[in-house]
Structure 1
Amino acid sequence: MPLNFAKIRRVLTDKFWGNSHRQLSGSTDATILHDSHLSDFLHLTPALLAELIRTLWSAIFLVILGLFLTFNIQWSDQRWKYSGDDMKPLVDLGFKVLPETDKVFLADLFMLTLLVGSVFFTLFMAESNRARIIIVRRIFWLLGILLFFRTITLSTTTLPSPKNCTPVDTGSFWFMLKQGVHLILGGVKACTDNIYSGHTIFITTSIILFRVYCKYPYLTYYSYVHGTTGICLLVATRLHYTVDVLLAVFITYAVHSIYFFIVDLCIEKHFLHIRRAEERLGDKELYQRIGYIPNMFNVSLVGTVRWMDGLDIRFAMEDEQTVVQTIELSHHRQQVLTVERERKAASNRSVTDSQHGEGACENDSSSPHHGDDDGSSTERHLSLTITENALPESKISSSSSSIQIGTSGSTS
């Protein structure tokens, strides 16, 4: 008899979470009534508790990947030690441009200060505890993914040390685990911990944190200078080759870009039921003529990021009425944009016609009105009535129950 996994999951969920539902009361704030043993014990709502548990999973993921990376670093040193190849450093352009310095602590100092500063300011400026949990979870997931990629590159190719170095020893599991902790804390330095740079991962991640979450542009600009200095010190101290640093910057930026782009896709898919660009255009034939992508790529990746970011938890908090009104607001906004585009296109056509016909332009300039045959201009308005509980209180005032969206211009 096959197992009914859906039924088992429902039973376990009811046992763990208890019965919970959402009750709306005249405003956008939702009151979540719950009867959950664990959430009652911790004095937390089930939604917030789910966010914390998801964050715990991300922390475990990061710790496991970090320790596994240290094992691969130690094995890489041993492969280099017993390879019998020449141990001279590779030719590197950065080594010729930047003079060598033995002050290795400077590179660690710039990396740690930027990392701690970015995390502190980001969490301090977050608007709520839920936002802080989301930010921490994103940091854990993204760093874990980057360390996983780094584990692969270290395992496949071993580069010689950029400077004179003594390889670390390997031994039993517990010996390597203890030495791995020292590698993480900086007490032990490996020789072939090269491609790609772990220091640059943290530096680039810190800059992205300022870029995404910081409201003060001058702090973001300072992070660019601070991070660039730290990266130059990595090459000057010969901790990494220049290629290690460049690859780390590109890969870190790419991973963050893909992650946040998929977050946007998940939101569009949930609220607007959009899965790809051809659905936005409304013309599949045009999309295929230009893009020619018959089958959607990386469908599973969208669902993975949706779970990693906890979007399913936050989607469940939105009631059906809010979702419907969000869709209506989006459709009306698209209509306003269409009207605006038509007005600009008509204006451009009138300018083009006036340039090609000088006589017509003179006649038009002598008349008191331009544009329509009757010499009048009209104003287009789109009015959308939205109840107060359709949008957050920060978006609309308590005394206003409607939003007027309008564009004005001459008709062609």
Structure 2
Amino acid sequence: MSRWVSLSGLDRLTILLTATAAFFVIMGMSQVFSDDDWVRHLERSPARERPHLGTTLRDLGHVRLPDLSWVTIYRQTLTLVPLWTLMVMLVVVSARQNRHDPTRLVRRFAALQTVLFALRAITLLGTRMPPADQSCVPAISIHHPIHSALRMIAHADLACTDMIFSGHMTTAVSLWAVISQDCANWETRLLGTVLLVICSLLLIATRLHYTVDVIAGFLISILVAVLYALAWRIVRFQYPNMAKSRTMPLYARVLHWIEGSDIPTRSSSRPPVASKQQ
């Protein structure tokens, strides 16, 4: 355990991002199995009961907001603009708020995303919903799930049953929650909130998700972020430092490891400066 504890903040970030990427691929594979099962369900259904591939649920968000599905391949990029802006904001805020450990907030975000990706993988396997995009036609190969998952992640193929709660929304909310919690600058928090609202509206207007997907993504992500913040506050109160890490429960050690409470500050590690001789 001491070997893992002694890792620098950047090394810990690398490990967390690797775990996040792994669960991202697992979530993509769940999407592949979900789309394949949905297509097989349509094929097995009687002709009279078989819904058309373009069948969608009625959604008031789609009715009220302008239809931007005509943007076709660029709509994914359109929704990613506020998302990547929030990502850049998180990196900047993390570096400014914690100069002795500039990756701490990014590590927290990676931990939240790993949990959310695991939850999405479970929901994708549990329930199939018709796609919000009427033109969506599954282009997957169940025989090559990893390759198909990577193509979905790269947006080479459009995921059809990617519903229940939005992955784009969970990412945006996690970024916004981490930024809002640690940033004292109200202008930055306001900008993050505006970007979050824009992202949610674009997800509905481009028909990438139903309104309920966006709302569920917001609520679940907020719940995970609040539970993490509450757990970390309790751990800091009960176990203020890593001096007695062997007596800590595993969850407390994991939270201390993510937050980097044991990483020394630069001021404490900097050698004393010799005074100049007159």
Question: Which bracket does the TM-score occupy, shorter chain normalised?
Answer: 0.7 to 0.9
Instruction: Give the structure 2 partner of residue 91 of structure 1.
Output: 58
CA change 1:167–1:312 in 2 (3 A) is closer
* Equivalent of residue 150 in structure 1, options 112, 117, 120: 120
Partner AA of 1:269 in structure 2: Q
> Unpaired segments of 5 or more residues in structure 2?
43-49, 242-248, 269-278
Superposition deviation, residue 124 in structure 1? 3.2
* Equivalent of residue 141 in structure 2, options 153, 166, 170: 170
- Asked if structure 2 preserves the Cα contact closer than 8 Å seen for 1:72 and 1:154, the reply is yes
Instruction: Give the structure 2 partner of residue 66 of structure 1.
Output: 24
**Residues 302-311 or 201-210, more deviating:** 302-311
- Asked if structure 2 preserves the Cα contact closer than 8 Å seen for 1:194 and 1:241, the reply is yes
Superposition map of 1:347-358 within 5 A? none
Corresponding residue SS for 2:7 = helix
Alpha-carbon distance in structure 2 between the residues aligned to 1:313 and 1:95: 44
- Asked if structure 2 preserves the Cα contact closer than 8 Å seen for 1:73 and 1:154, the reply is yes
Instruction: Give the structure 2 partner of residue 238 of structure 1.
Output: 207
Superposition deviation, residue 106 in structure 1? 5.6
> Unpaired segments of 5 or more residues in structure 1?
1-8, 18-45, 273-301, 318-391, 393-412
Indicate the structure with greater strand content: 1
Alpha-carbon distance in structure 2 between the residues aligned to 1:110 and 1:200: 13
Higher relative CO (Cα under 8 Å, sequence separation at least 6) belongs to 2
Alpha-carbon distance in structure 1 between the residues aligned to 2:183 and 2:109: 15
- Asked if structure 2 preserves the Cα contact closer than 8 Å seen for 1:118 and 1:209, the reply is no
Q: Deviations over 1:15-67 (max 9, x none)?
A: xx5xxxxxxxxxxxxxxxxxxxxxxxxxxxx9652655544432232122111
- Asked if structure 2 preserves the Cα contact closer than 8 Å seen for 1:161 and 1:192, the reply is yes
Corresponding residue SS for 1:138 = helix
Alpha-carbon distance in structure 2 between the residues aligned to 1:184 and 1:98: 27
Superposition map of 1:5-404 within 5 A? 49=7, 51-84=9-42, 85-87=50-52, 88-101=55-68, 102-103=70-71, 104-105=75-76, 107-130=78-101, 132-164=102-134, 165-172=136-143, 175-271=144-240, 303-310=250-257, 314=261
Superposition deviation, residue 204 in structure 1? 0.9
Corresponding residue SS for 2:130 = coil
- Asked if structure 1 preserves the Cα contact closer than 8 Å seen for 2:8 and 2:263, the reply is no
Alpha-carbon distance in structure 1 between the residues aligned to 2:236 and 2:183: 22
Alpha-carbon distance in structure 2 between the residues aligned to 1:316 and 1:215: 23
Partner AA of 1:58 in structure 2: L
Alpha-carbon distance in structure 1 between the residues aligned to 2:66 and 2:126: 30
Corresponding residue SS for 1:161 = coil
- Asked if structure 2 preserves the Cα contact closer than 8 Å seen for 1:123 and 1:135, the reply is yes
- Asked if structure 2 preserves the Cα contact closer than 8 Å seen for 1:51 and 1:310, the reply is no
CA change 1:316–1:75 in 2 (3 A) is closer
Corresponding residue SS for 1:191 = coil
Superposition deviation, residue 113 in structure 1? 3.0
Corresponding residue SS for 1:83 = helix
Alpha-carbon distance in structure 2 between the residues aligned to 1:158 and 1:108: 23
Alpha-carbon distance in structure 2 between the residues aligned to 1:58 and 1:99: 39
**Residues 96-105 or 194-203, more deviating:** 96-105
Instruction: Give the structure 2 partner of residue 364 of structure 1.
Output: none
Partner AA of 1:162 in structure 2: A
Identity across the alignment (%): 23
Partner AA of 1:202 in structure 2: T
Alpha-carbon distance in structure 2 between the residues aligned to 1:141 and 1:213: 16
Task: Give RMSD over aligned pairs.
Answer: 2.9
Alpha-carbon distance in structure 2 between the residues aligned to 1:312 and 1:127: 11
Superposition deviation, residue 89 in structure 1? 0.4
Partner AA of 1:97 in structure 2: R
CA change 1:111–1:180 in 2 (3 A) is farther
TM-score of the pair, normalised by structure 2: 0.78
